[in-house]
Amino acid sequence: MLRPLPIVSFLFLGLLYLSSCNQSEKKAPKITKDSLKRRSIKEWNKTIPGNFNSEQELFFDTLQIESFITAHPQLEEYAPSIRKFYNSRHFAFAWYNKNGLIEQAGNLTDRVKNLKDEGINKDVPYRASLDSMIYAKQTKKPDINLELMLTAQYFVFAKLAWEGMDASISKSAEWFLPRKKIAYDAYLDSMIKAPAKFAGTTVAPVYRQYDLLKNFLIKYRDLEQKDSWQPIVADKKSYKPGDSSEVIAKIKTRLFKLEDFKGDTTNTHYDDELLAAVKQFQERNGMGADGSIGPGTLTELNTSLKKRIRQILVNMERSRWLPVKVDSSYLAVNIPEFKLHVYHSDSLLWSGNVVVGQSLHKTVIFSGDMKYVVFSPYWNVPTSIVRNEILPAMRRNKNYISTHQMEITGYSGGLPVVRQKPGPKNSLGLVKFLFPNSYDIYLHDTPAKSLFGESSRAFSHGCIRVENPTKLAEFLLKDNKGWDATKIKTAMNSGKEQYVTLKKKVPVYIAYFTAFTDRNNHLNFRKDIYSRDEPLANMLLKEE
């Protein structure tokens, strides 16, 4: 299930841990090639912002920035950020103190050098120059070119790793959630001026899933280098507890490599340990967790590591686009997961199944503010459904309208205006939840409860059917005086439409993630039901 990391907290905090920056009492360590060896992710997360010289004891001439940009034209787009950053510091050095270059210069160089581990398939401009400068013999005397190169590379890193591809790309992918807006110059400067405030905290401006997926990206790439990942070929239709087969040992080995199984991989018996591992694997791949290893489960087990890596990369990019944090209560729907998650700030309160749009009637990726709960609603049938479904049905059955508790209220454009009366057979169920938007999408109840038992739930015309409408109504109306469970139940079954305006609007985010981590830090994959992954993957992996 979708982590239950907020789509917005999964809406959204980064994991770059920051350490204090006052190093004036210590001798700055000499930076050598050995000190710049690949660090663990945990160590790397101490590296970028907030670890600079806060003493502002060393200054330089403002014209040196212009000379630097002239000499490095590929950094021209970052010049405004560089100027603003140093102007706020009164042109004090950030990467040097009186003892010389601070350690974090090498840490930033590591991050820039290893952009591939950030899911970035391109190099930064002038990286060779940065490498040669950082590896050169260090002295206490500040080098203005290195100082400015480090700051420039910070902003390059921020754009690539934190901001992501241009907004035109996300729009072309029909991603209409608001892109986050971060002033990276002010963000960096604030951490330099108040390092203690940021030390040891999770403050990087990236949705939290980004770093969690990054850890799995490194694991899967390492696994791809070490394992040929040959398909497992079944010798029977399915495998269940108690079965024995050489194939079972291969399945155990595969699940061990995927971190689902922890037992003896040479044992050919389907035991309890394997049952638990199979169920976990099925759950995190969005399947019915029955423990039976049939064709569907084997297909997922045989999915290539290359494909999984592409999925991770695509969803890391989507994580870069999201707002960092939502401090209020909010709803988040992850379309490929078929789940609604209800949050208060960063805390998941509960989750429930949903039905989303078919591939022909895709649910739109966007956000809005929930304003109304409508009890015993009419269903105003969309014109497209009237034309394509109801009119043909009326020709076949003259009693179709009355049989389905519908009524014609007028005519428009040569078509009847049709609505379905409130009641248990109404296609919207007993309640709907409105967050006004130009896409005419909303959440609602449904009389077709059996669909929630399906593992893949893309059946609607675009709106989102919720499994627990009463619970959702109670959550949304918790601040509206008098709307307790009894009153809500009565209104749902009154047969008379009633609008209730929420005392507090509740943000709603409808997102699209096919790879994410859950609350147990398990990597989840879901099918790309709207075929949105491949176009984005191709753009991300295109050689620059």
Whole-angstrom CA distances from 191 to 14, 422, 465, 509, 521 are 15, 56, 44, 30, 29
Assigned token pair, 241: 């507890």
Residues annotated as catalytic are 444, 463
Helices (H), 285-387: 295-301, 305-321, 383-385
Amino acid at 414: G
Assigned token pair, 301: 């087990």
- As beta bridge partners, residue 418 has 408
- Through-space distance between the first and last CA atoms of the chain, rounded to whole angstroms: 35
- CB of 99 closer than 8 Å to CB of 27: yes
What is the Cα–Cα distance from 221 to 310, expressed in whole angstroms? Answer: 11
Angle between helices 79-88 and 63-71 (to 10 degrees): 160
Total H helices, total E strands in the chain? 20, 16
Assigned token pair, 18: 């920051």
Contacts of 419 (CB under 8 A, 6+ apart): 378, 379, 380, 381, 406, 407, 409
Assigned token pair, 478: 């918790």
Residue 479 CA, chain-centre distance (Å), reads 29
Contacts of 479 (CB under 8 A, 6+ apart): 502, 503, 504
Query: Residue 60: exposed, middle, or buried by beta-carbon count in 10 A (0-12, 13-18, 19+)?
Result: middle
- CB of 51 closer than 8 Å to CB of 95: no
- What φ, ψ does residue 466 adopt, rounded to 5°? -110, 140
- CB of 204 closer than 8 Å to CB of 15: yes
Contacts of 477 (CB under 8 A, 6+ apart): 373, 483, 488, 500, 502
- CB of 40 closer than 8 Å to CB of 72: no
CA-based max dimension of the chain: 91
- What φ, ψ does residue 541 adopt, rounded to 5°? -95, 0
